[in-house]
Amino acid sequence: MADRGLIPDADAGADRGAGIGRIALRIALIYLAARVVTTVFLLIAAELSGFASRFGPDPSLADLILGWDSRWYWIVAETGYPSVLPRTESGDVAENQWAFMPLYAYLAKLVGLPFGQWYVGAFIVSVLAGYGASVVLYLLLREKIDAAAAMWAVAFFAAGPLAALFQVGYAEPLFLLWLFLALWCVVRRRYGWVYLLIPLMGYTRPGILAFALFLALFGIWRFVTRSREPLSGREAAHVVVLGLLAVCVGFSWQVIAGWVTGEAGAYLATELAWRRNWIPGEAAFFPFEGFVSASAFWFGTVWGLPSTLGYVALAASVLGVAALLLFVPQVKRLGVEVRLWSGSYLVYLLLVFFPQSSIFRLLLPLSPLWGAVAVPRSTTWRTSVLALCLIGQWWWIYNMYALGNAIWQIP
């Protein structure tokens, strides 16, 4: 039986017959309802915020919009990037603007000009980008799954545990919009638009190197399966050139930071400044070292367990996620493009990230996997997942905005 629950079902023919305007309106209603719920959660968090919280007692919604990393984007918009890297008393590079890409910061400033406030522009950009990402996510998933499942996946995305990011000054919603558009273009083999989307992604937030890896794996897959779907020289050239473009864009920010500051390692040193808040003395970057160090840090230093358990948990997690992407039927239904992207992005995180409380936010680019969660045609299942999304959203908002006073309460 088709699901007749929260979101009306529609077969593939009816969905194709419906205009994009009707689909966009339906998604707008879902997205608006989710934003109302998030606003209520944020207002409650503001009421619960006390003197121990980062935000103090009785913060306004504007204070929350400008909280945490949002303030760094605001600093970028107002003062730009430092030509001389700030230093700590020990001589290490201190936290600074070079860790944050410019596109979101300056776009929010432009949009906020009529209102005279950067945070208003940031709110508008985040909300609209989140809605655009929701529409494109539907179109992306609709290529592989039925209309009802795709619409439910959008509901999970719009109301998910990290949905507050659609209403604060973070670059994630804008990045997701570019990313989903790029993936949709690849699925439909419309590579021309991806030439524009790669720089947009690359200068919105880090992650474009993961897309370069995705294109490399996708190109290999297209070559291996060329007997099933012919691979023209034109398409092969597009995939190769786009991959090289993504690599160039991915490393260009390091070159720009080094050129402006006169220090070749300015960007990596800036990123390590945040990691030293967790592990003092971190002085150099090595691939995979972040996850290995974090395994010992969380299990040994924080939880008082044997560090070897951390390594075992890390290995088990990697194997478990690989099995999920390779063998779970619901995930396989999403198509090879979504699976290759998910694997590429997770490898990228393993290479460069030090896992801490921000890991939840860093997992947002895996949002197309909501489609796999939405595939089972059970009203009970889908409504239960949506309820868990809302519970998770409140838990995240409460910890990050009402409390925000522990090392694991940093978004």
pLDDT digits (tens, 9 = 90+) for 134-176: 999 999 999 999 999 999 999 999 999 999 999 999 999 999 9
Determine, yes or no, domain membership for 187. Answer: yes
pLDDT of 103 > 50? The answer is yes
Average pLDDT, the chain: 93
Determine, yes or no, domain membership for 7. Answer: no
Q: Is 285:272 a contact under the CB 8 Å cutoff?
A: yes
Q: Work out how many domains the chain is built from and give that number.
A: 1
Between these two residues, 15 and 306, which has the higher pLDDT value?
A: 306
Determine, yes or no, domain membership for 223. Answer: yes
Q: Is 243:216 a contact under the CB 8 Å cutoff?
A: yes
pLDDT at 282: 60
Q: Is 94:86 a contact under the CB 8 Å cutoff?
A: yes
Determine, yes or no, domain membership for 198. Answer: yes
State the angle between helix axes of 102-112 and 172-187 in degrees (0 to 180), rounded to the nearest 10: 110
- When pLDDT is cut at 50, 70 and 90, the band that residue 71 belongs to is very high
Q: Is 154:20 a contact under the CB 8 Å cutoff?
A: no
pLDDT digits (tens, 9 = 90+) for 366-389: 999 999 999 999 999 999 999 999
Kindly state the DSSP code that residue 305 receives in the 8-state scheme. Answer: S
Least confident of 196-210, 250-264, 287-301, 336-350: 287-301
Determine, yes or no, domain membership for 5. Answer: no
pLDDT at 305: 87
pLDDT of 7 > 80? The answer is no
- When pLDDT is cut at 50, 70 and 90, the band that residue 283 belongs to is low
pLDDT of 338 > 90? The answer is yes
Query: Which structural domain range is residue 308 located in?
Result: 12-403
pLDDT of 111 > 70? The answer is yes
Backbone angles phi, psi at 37, to 5 degrees: -60, -45
Backbone dihedral region of 91: left (phi > 0), alpha (psi from -120 to 50 degrees) or beta?
A: left
Determine, yes or no, domain membership for 409. Answer: no
pLDDT at 76: 98
pLDDT digits (tens, 9 = 90+) for 167-226: 999 999 999 999 999 999 999 999 999 999 999 999 999 999 999 999 999 999 999 999
pLDDT of 15 > 80? The answer is no
- Give mean pLDDT, residues 95-121: 97
pLDDT of 2 > 90? The answer is no
**Whose structure tokens read 């990691």?**
275
Structure tokens at 409: 């309460």
pLDDT of 40 > 70? The answer is yes
What is the greatest pairwise CA distance in the chain? 66
pLDDT of 56 > 50? The answer is yes
Determine, yes or no, domain membership for 235. Answer: yes
Can you give the pTM of this predicted structure? 0.94
pLDDT at 5: 42
Kindly state the DSSP code that residue 144 receives in the 8-state scheme. Answer: T
pLDDT at 61: 96
Determine, yes or no, domain membership for 1. Answer: no
pLDDT at 17: 46
DSSP-based helix, strand, coil % in the chain, nearest 5:
70, 0, 30
CA distance 405 to 409: 6
Q: Is 336:222 a contact under the CB 8 Å cutoff?
A: no
Q: Is 7:155 a contact under the CB 8 Å cutoff?
A: yes
